[in-house]
């Protein structure tokens, strides 16, 4: 059935209050992809989360969105008024808008965004003439955020790459930091249309929310990804909420204007898309696994493959010979069949079928039982062969008492025994 969802776009609210100060928050909700939650902490630091991950500074995400806003000096110029002041006119309450380094010793005197404080005497004692400082820093939110950012441990890369690595460490904890993988993950998560999309409704609501901002540029609804200008507008709006200026207000998330009806066909399409994505992932994993196996087999030397083949053949022969009886014929391991000179062993059904077929074509004696009919001493062809070679035949014990077990004339003995057996059967009947 159709469902009522929170509409894509951006919403502002108050999470909690710390004393008399309300702690504001914002949510950037896409039609498809990761939610971005921004909030003000009790220390007046602007922190954010990506899909319920651990907190990180909001300025770090802004650095990663666009390399143009990756430097600290540029960020300070976006939110504060910066001007050059002579060293003689500096005050300890001034905030530095640049990295101050002593030209003689190379020592760092003050970091960008930090208060001059005790470093003012060293700055005035140096050969520096002018310093870029922030005038009228009424809201220290961005300054506190820059102080909590802590990107110093990545001095070998640029600030843009350091921000990417910081986000990669939050989303993939435990993985070794690599710039290429961090950039690939960030692009897939926020710039690939199949993974992240604001939708036409989300883009329309963002444009309507910030259309009064003089710095913000309204874009076309075909732009589905989040831009650095969008994130900057969100931060400026939160600063307006804190200072209560420019008609900034809190959104009511239960208002129907901030809700959207998702129909049945849209829900069905979304479920089908998830199913096809899962199927594609499964097929790719199996294909990569099969390809890796073939690559490993191709990398093996030919001699190693021949050695393994001989080893498998030897094991197969040992297993076959271990299960055979000593009276069975020898086994040829290569052909897996008995040798030509050996008698093949037949199963009991096969032997009975051969015996019955043999009986059908031979003239059997009618007075003998069916069990003894196939024996060689009762077969006329064998008897004829013995007669031709003029040999004496030895017969089994006579069923009638008083008869000799040998006979000089095999034919007469056989006929006599047949007559006597017929008479015995007639008497019993």
Residue 167 has pLDDT above 80, yes or no: yes
Q: Which residue has the tokens 């059904």?
A: 349
Q: Please state, in angstroms and rounded to a whole number, the distance separating the CA atoms of residues 199 and 176.
A: 34
Residues paired with 12 in a beta bridge: 26
Residue 194 sits at φ, ψ, to 5 deg, of -70, -20
Torsion of CA 174, 179, 181, 182, to 10 degrees: 70
Higher-confidence position of 340 and 150: 150
Pair 26, 219: CB distance under 8 Å: no
pLDDT band at 391 (very low <50, low <70, confident <90, very high): very low
Q: Which residue has the tokens 């051969």?
A: 354
Nearest residue to 197 via CA among 51, 27, 30: 30
**pLDDT tens digit sequence for 91-147:** 888 888 888 888 778 788 888 888 888 888 888 888 888 888 888 778 888 888 888
3-71+148-260 belongs to which homologous superfamily? Answer: RNA polymerase Rpb2, domain 2 (3.90.1110.10)
Nearest residue to 82 via CA among 99, 97, 68, 70: 97
% of the chain surpassing 70 pLDDT: 71
% of the chain surpassing 90 pLDDT: 15
Distance of CA 94 to the CA centre of its chain: 52
User: Which of 13-22, 71-80, 268-277 shows the lowest mean pLDDT across its residues?
Assistant: 13-22
> Which pLDDT does position 321 carry in this prediction?
66
Highest mean pLDDT among 3-7, 235-239, 375-379: 235-239
Residues paired with 21 in a beta bridge: 18
Pair 95, 133: CB distance under 8 Å: yes
Domain 82-136: which CATH class?
A: alpha beta
> Which pLDDT does position 315 carry in this prediction?
80
Q: Please state, in angstroms and rounded to a whole number, the distance separating the CA atoms of residues 164 and 70.
A: 11
Q: Please state, in angstroms and rounded to a whole number, the distance separating the CA atoms of residues 98 and 149.
A: 16
Non-local CB neighbours of 26 within 8 Å, separated by 6+ positions:
10, 11, 12, 13, 37, 38, 39, 234, 237, 238
Query: pTM for the full model?
Result: 0.62
Pair 165, 64: CB distance under 8 Å: no
Higher-confidence position of 321 and 308: 308
User: Which of 170-174, 218-222, 310-314, 317-321 shows the lowest mean pLDDT across its residues?
Assistant: 317-321
């Amino acid at each position: 059935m159709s469902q009522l969802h929170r509409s894509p776009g951006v919403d502002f609210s108050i999470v909690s209050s710390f004393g008399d100060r309300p702690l504001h928050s914002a949510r950037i909700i896409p039609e498809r992809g990761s939610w971005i939650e921004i909030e003000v902490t009790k220390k007046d630091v602007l922190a954010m989360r990506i899909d319920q991950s651990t907190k990180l500074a909001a300025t770090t995400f802004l650095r990663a969105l666009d390399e143009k806003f990756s430097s600290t000096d540029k960020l300070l110029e976006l939110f504060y008024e910066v001007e050059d002041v002579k060293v003689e006119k500096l005050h300890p309450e001034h905030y530095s808008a640049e990295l101050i380094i002593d030209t003689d010793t190379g020592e760092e005197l003050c970091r960008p965004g930090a208060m001059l404080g005790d470093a003012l005497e060293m700055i005035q004692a140096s050969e520096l003439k002018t310093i870029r400082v922030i005038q009228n820093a009424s809201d220290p939110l961005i300054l506190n955020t820059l102080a909590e950012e802590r990107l110093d441990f990545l001095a070998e890369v640029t600030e843009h790459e350091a921000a990417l690595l910081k986000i990669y460490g939050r989303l993939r904890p435990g993985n070794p930091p690599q710039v290429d993988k961090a950039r690939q993950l960030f692009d897939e998560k926020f710039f690939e249309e199949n993974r992240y999309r604001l939708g036409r409704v989300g883009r329309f609501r963002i444009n309507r929310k910030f259309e009064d901002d003089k710095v913000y540029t309204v874009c076309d609804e075909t732009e589905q990804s989040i831009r650095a200008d969008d994130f900057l507008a969100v931060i400026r709006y939160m600063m307006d909420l804190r200072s209560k200026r420019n008609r900034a207000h809190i959104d009511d998330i239960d208002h129907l204007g901030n809700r959207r009806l998702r129909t049945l066909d849209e829900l069905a399409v979304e479920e089908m898309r998830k199913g096809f994505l899962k199927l594609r992932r499964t097929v790719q994993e199996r294909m990569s696994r099969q390809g890796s196996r073939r690559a490993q087999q191709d990398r093996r030397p030919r001699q190693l493959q021949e050695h393994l083949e001989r080893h498998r053949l030897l094991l197969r022969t040992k297993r076959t010979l271990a299960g055979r009886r000593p009276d069975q014929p020898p086994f040829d391991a290569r052909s897996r069949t008995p040798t030509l000179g050996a008698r093949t062993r037949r199963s009991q059904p096969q032997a009975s079928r051969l015996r019955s077929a043999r009986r059908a074509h031979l003239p059997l004696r009618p007075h003998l039982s069916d069990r003894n009919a196939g024996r060689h001493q009762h077969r006329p062809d064998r008897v004829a062969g013995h007669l031709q070679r003029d040999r004496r035949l030895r017969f089994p014990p006579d069923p009638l008492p008083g008869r000799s077990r040998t006979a000089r004339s095999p034919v007469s003995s056989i006929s006599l025994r047949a007559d006597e057996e017929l008479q015995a059967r007639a008497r019993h009947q």
